[in-house]
Amino acid sequence: MNTPQLGLRENWRQFGLLVLVNAFVGGMVGLERSILPRLAEQEFHLVARSAILSFIVVFGLTKAVANYYAGAWANTIGRKNLLVIGWLFGLPVPLLLLWAPGWGWVIFANVLLGLNQGLAWSSTVVMKIDLVGPKQRGLAMGLNESAGYLAVAATAFASGWLATEYGLRPYPFYLGIGLTVLGLLGSLLVRDTRPHAALEAALAPSTPASPPLSFWDVTWRHPNLGSVTQAGLVNNLNDGMVWGLLPMLLASKGFSLTQIGTVAAVYPAVWGLGQLLTGPLADRLCKKDLLFWGMLLQGAVLLAMLFTNAYPVFLLLAALLGAGTALVYPTFLAAVAEYAPAPQRARSVGIFRFWRDAGYAIGALLTGLLADAFGLRAALAAIGGLTVLSALIIQRRMYCLPLATAPGATGTCARPAPVRSHTRWRMASASAAVSVPGRCGLNLSA
CA dist 293 to 170, 278, 323, 354, 393, Å?
A: 41, 12, 10, 23, 12
- At residue 338, does pLDDT exceed 80? no
Question: Mean pLDDT over residues 256-272, rounded?
Answer: 86
Which of residues 395 and 246 earns the better pLDDT score?
395
Q: What is the pLDDT of residue 401?
A: 59
Q: Which residues have a Cβ under 8 Å from the Cβ of 178 and sit 6 or more positions away?
A: none
Question: Rounded to whole angstroms, how far apart are CA atoms 120 and 130?
Answer: 15
Question: Rounded to whole angstroms, how far apart are CA atoms 408 and 106?
Answer: 54
Q: What is the pLDDT of residue 36?
A: 87
pTM: 0.79
Residue 281 near residue 298, CB atoms below 8 Å = no
Question: Mean pLDDT over residues 276-284, rounded?
Answer: 89
Q: What is the pLDDT of residue 282?
A: 87
pLDDT confidence of 245, banded at 50, 70, 90?
A: confident
Residue 130 near residue 266, CB atoms below 8 Å = no
Q: What is the pLDDT of residue 1?
A: 52
- Taking all residues of the chain, what is their mean pLDDT, rounded to a whole number? 85
pLDDT confidence of 424, banded at 50, 70, 90?
A: low
Question: Rounded to whole angstroms, how far apart are CA atoms 88 and 110?
Answer: 14
> Based on the number of CB atoms within 10 Å of its own CB, is 416 exposed (0-12), middle (13-18) or buried (19 or more)?
middle
- At residue 443, does pLDDT exceed 70? no
Report, in angstroms and rounded to the nearest whole number, the Rg of the chain calculated over CA atoms: 21
- Taking only the tens place, the pLDDT of each residue in 184-197 is 999 999 999 989 88
Question: Mean pLDDT over residues 63-68, rounded?
Answer: 92
- Taking only the tens place, the pLDDT of each residue in 9-54 is 899 999 999 999 999 999 999 888 778 888 898 899 887 788 888 8
Question: Mean pLDDT over residues 324-340, rounded?
Answer: 87
CA dist 148 to 191, 364, 425, Å?
A: 20, 21, 34
Residue 402 near residue 413, CB atoms below 8 Å = yes
- Taking only the tens place, the pLDDT of each residue in 379-390 is 999 999 999 999
- Taking only the tens place, the pLDDT of each residue in 168-183 is 899 999 999 999 999 9
Which domains occur in the chain, in start order? 12-193+210-401+416-432 (1.20.1250.20)
Question: Mean pLDDT over residues 347-362, rounded?
Answer: 89
Q: What is the pLDDT of residue 405?
A: 34
Q: One-letter amino acid identity for 418?
A: P
Nearest Cα residue to 286 out of 442, 103, 432, 145? 442
- At residue 408, does pLDDT exceed 50? no
